[in-house]
Structure 1
Amino acid sequence: MKYEQIPNSLFIKNRKKFTAQMRPKSIAVFNSNDIYPISADSTMPFEQHRDIFYLSGADQEETILLLFPDAMDKKHREILFVRETNAHIAIWEGAKLTKEQATEVSGIETIYWLSDFDKVFFDLMTEAETIYFNTNEHYRQAVETQTREDRFIMDCKKKFPAHTVAKSNPILQKIRGVKEPEEIAMMLTACSITEKGFRRLLGFVRPGVWEYEIEAELLHEFIRNRSKGFAYSPIIASGNNANVLHYLENNQQCQSGDLILMDVAAEYANYSSDLTRTIPVNGKFTKRQKEVYNAVLRVKNEATKMLIPGTIWAEYHKECGKLMTSELLGLGLLDKADVQNEDPNWPAYKKYFMHGTSHHIGLNTHDYGELKTPMEANMVFTVEPGIYIPAEKMGVRLEDDVVIQEKGEPINLMATIPIEVEEIEGLMQAH
C-alpha cells in the first residue's frame, strides 16, 4: 500500500459499532472482492471491498472477516482469515500479510489461514442461529457481475438451509454514514492531495492543451503524494463536452474562450475526495461566463449552509431547486411563465441543472449513508450544483466536500482550494 498504515483503533471501533446491532447468536461474514480478469493472463488492479476494509483494515485479496459476538470460545468472536503465503508467492506477487501483521493491521487477535475457513465456519454455525449476509443495496448500485460475496451467499444457503438470514447492509448504511475523526482526517488528506493537483493545473492549462494532458498532470501529482490515483474516473470536459454529465473520453483540445469543467479528485487509503472546478482555458472568464459561474457559486454557498443536523435529504434538494430557479431567472435562462407552468415532477430548473446537489462521500465516492432519516453530525456530503447550457457551449459545476457539525455551518474540507473568479484568474495569469 502507498498510504501510511492506519491505526487499528479505528477498525476496532467500527467492529464494536457493527456487533452492537447484531441479533443474539448471530454470525456476520464479509468477503474481499475478486480480482477481475480482463483476458489472457491480465487482471484489473485489485480494489478491496469497502465493507471488509471498514471493519478490519485488511487491504488484501482472498480475505474473510467473521464476527460472532456470542461465540462460546472467546477467541472466535472475531476472526480474520487471510491467504497463506509462501516463498513462491512472495517472489512472484510480493509479500502478503503474515498472521502477526494481520493482527497489527486489524486489531483482531485470532487469525487463521483461508484454507481453515470451511472447517471453522461449520463448527461456529452449529452454535449460531442467524447468518448476516453482506448484500449491496446502495441506491445507485447496478451490479451485473457475480461477486465473491454472491458466491458465498449461494453456497451458505445450500449448506445451512435452517439458519435465519439477516442483512448487514442496513447496519453498514447507518454506521458508515457517520464518520470517525480518523476517517475525516484521511478524507482531508485526500482533499489536500487533490488541491496540489488542481494548483498544478492552474499553471499548466493554456489554449491548445489536450484534455488528456491535464489528466496526466493530475495523475502524476496524485501518485507522487501517496495516492493510488483518481478516486473515480476523471471528467475533464472542455467547451461543449461539459454538457455531457459523465464525459470520460478526455480526448479533445482545449480552445481559447472555452471553459473546462474538471470533476477530478484523489483517493487516499481507499477514502475518496470529490472535487469539481470550472476554469477558463485562456485564464480569463468572459462577462457571461463569470455571470453563470458566480450564480453556481452562490447556489453552492447557500446550499452548504443547509447541511445541518436534522435536515432531510429529499427536502434539502427541493430547497436547492428553489435557489437554482432564482439564479436561472436572473440569468435569463428561465422566465416566470416557465416556472408557473412547470411540471412538479420535473421542475423548470431541471432543464439546466438535472442532477442532485449532494451525496454521501467516504470509502466510496457515492458512499453508504442513510438518506431517508435526518442528517447527523460527522456525516460528509458533497455540494455540487451546476448550470449546463448547450446552446452557449458552456457548462459550469462547482463541488466541495463538507462535514456536518453538531452546531453551525459544516466544515469545508476543500476550503483552501481556489474557487473565486479573481483567485483563479490571478493564479492562471501569474504563470
Structure 2
Amino acid sequence: MKYDLIDRNLFIKNRKNFMAKMKPSSLAVFNSNDIYPVSADSTLPFAQHRDIFYLSGVDQEESVLVLFPDAPKEKHREILFLKETNEHIAVWEGEKLTKEAALKTSGIKTVYWLQDMEKIMFEIMTQCDTVYINTNEHYRANVETETREDRFTKWLKDKYPAHSVARSNPILQRLRSVKDQIELDLIQNACTITEKAFRRVLKFTKPGVWEYNIEAEFMHEFLNNRSKGFAYTPIIGSGNNANVLHYIENNQQCKAGDLILIDAGAEYANYASDMTRTIPVSGRYNDRQKAVYNAVNRVKDAATKMLVPGTLWEQYHIEVGKLMTSELLGLGLIDKADVQNENPDWPAYKKYFMHGTSHHMGLDTHDYGILTEPMQANMVFTVEPGIYIPDEGFGIRLEDDVVIQEKGEPFNLMRNIPIEIEEIEDIMNG
C-alpha cells in the first residue's frame, strides 16, 4: 500500500458500531476479496473488499474478520485470521501483516493464522445461535463472479445448517453511509490529489492531444501523491464522445473548438473522489458552449443547496428535474409544449439529462446508502447534472463531492478545483 497508516481508532469505532446492531448470541464473518487470475500466472491488482477494510483496516488477501460480541471468551469477541507470513513469502511477494502489525493496523488483539480457522470456528459456532453473512445488496450490484465471500457462505451453511442466518448488509449500508471525520479527511485527500491532477491537465491540454494523453497526465499526478490511481475507470470524452455516458475508450484525438468531458477521480487509502469537469480543447469556450455550461453550473449550485438532513433522494431528483426543465427552456432545447405533453415517467428534460444527479460516495465510488431513508449529516454525495446535445457535438457535465452538514449548505470537498469558466480559461491560457 502507498498510503499512510490510518488511525486504527476509526476501525475500532466501526466494529463497535456494527456489534451494537447485532442480535444477541450472534457472530458475523467478513472475507477479503480474491486475487483474480487473468491467464497463465498473471493476476489483476489486488483490491480489498471494502467491508472488511471498513471494519479492520486490513488491506491484504486471504484475510477473515470474525465479530462475536457475546463470546464466552473475551479474546474471541474480535478475531482476525490472516495468511501466515514467513521469510520466503516476504522475498517473493513482499511483506505481509504479522500479528503485531495487524494489531497496530486494526486494534484487534486476537490474530490467528488461517490454518487454525476451521478449529476456532467450530468452537465459536457452538457458542452462538445466529451467523451474519455478508451478501452484496447494493442497488447497482451485478455480480457474475463467485467471490471468496460467496464460497465461505456456502461452506458455512453446509457445515452449520442448524444456525440461523442474518444479513450484515443492512447494518453496513447505514453505518458506512455516515462518515467519521477520519474518513472525511481521507476523502478530502483524494479530492485534493484530483485537484492537483486537474490543474496539471488544464495546462497540458491543447488541440491535437489524445484523450489517453490526458488520462496519462492524471495518472502521473495520482501516483506522485501516494494514490494507487483512478477510483473508477476514467471518462475522457472529447466532442461527441461526451454524449456517451460511460465512454471509457479514451482513444480519440482532441480537436480545436471541441469540449472535453473529464470524469476522473483519485483514490486514496481505498477512499474515492469523483470529479467531472468539461473543458475547451482550444482554451476558450464559444458563446453557445458558455450558455450551456453556465446552465449546468446553475443547476449544480441549486441542487447542492437541497442536500440537507431529512432530504429524500427520490424527491430531490424530482426537484432537480424542475430546475433542469427551466434551464432547457431557456436554452431553446425544449419548449412549453414538450413540457405540457411530457410523460411523467420520462419527463421532457430527460432527453438532454438522462441520469441521476447524486449518489453516495466513500469507500466505493457508488457507495453504500439506503436511498429510501432520509439524508443525514456527514453523508457524502456527488452532485453531477449534465446537458448532452449530440446534434451540436458536445455534452457538458459538472460534478463535485459534498458533505451534508448538520446545519446550512453542504461542505464542498472540491471547492478548490476550478469550475468557473473564467478561471478555467485563465489557467489554460496562462
Quote how far apart the aligned CAs of 1:80 are: 0.6
| 1:10-409 matched pairs, under 5 angstroms | 10-409=10-409
- Structure 1, unaligned runs of 5 or more: none
Q: Distance in 2 between matches of 1:89 and 1:7?
A: 27
- List per-residue Cα deviations over 1:141-164 (Å, max 9, x = no partner): 000000000000111111001000
The amino acid that maps onto 1:66 is V
Deviations 1:372-430 (A, max 9, x none): 11100000000000000000011000000000000000000000100000000011011
Q: Once the 2 structures are TM-superposed, how far is the Cα of residue 356 of structure 1 from its aligned partner?
A: 0.1
CA-CA distance at 1:281 after TM superposition: 0.2
In 2, the alpha carbon distance for the partners of 1:95 and 1:407 equals 46
1:369: Cα distance to partner?
1.1
Distance 2:191 2:94 in 1: 30
Identity between Structure 1 and Structure 2 (%) = 71
Q: For the residues of structure 2 that align with 1:87 and 1:229, how far apart are their CA atoms?
A: 29
SS at 2:204 equivalent: coil
Q: Residues 113-132 of structure 1, C-alpha deviation per residue, up to 9 Å, x if partnerless?
A: 01111100111000000000
The number of aligned residues is 430
Normalised TM-score (structure 2): 1.00
What CA deviation, in whole Å up to 9, does each residue of 1:264-295 have, x standing for no partner? 11000000000000000000000000000000
Describe the SS at the equivalent of 1:414: coil
Looking at structure 2, the residues matched to 298 and 101 of structure 1 have their Cα atoms a distance apart, in angstroms, of 49
* 1:121 maps to amino acid: M
Aligned residue in 1 for 2:423: 423
Deviation at 1:86, TM superposition (A): 1.2
CA distance in 2, matches of 1:291, 1:136: 42
Equivalent position SS for 1:203: helix
Secondary structure of residue in 1 paired with 2:165: strand
After TM superposition, give the deviation of residue 59 of structure 1 in Å.
0.2
1:116 is paired with a residue whose SS is helix
Amino acid at match of 2:213: E
Letter matched to residue 413 of structure 2: L
User: What is the distance in 1 between the residues matched to 2:322 and 2:208?
Assistant: 38
CA distance in 1, matches of 2:86, 2:203: 48
Looking at structure 1, the residues matched to 104 and 424 of structure 2 have their Cα atoms a distance apart, in angstroms, of: 45
The amino acid that maps onto 1:321 is G
Unaligned 5+ segments in structure 2 are none
Work out the CA distance in 2 between the residues paired with 1:199 and 1:115: 50
- TM-score scaled to structure 1, two decimals? 1.00
TM-aligned CA deviation for residue 88 of structure 1: 1.2
Cα distance between partner residues in 1 of 2:82 and 2:103: 11
Q: 2: CA distance between counterparts of 1:404 and 1:243?
A: 30
Q: In the aligned structure 1, how far is the partner of 2:414 from the partner of 2:370? A: 23
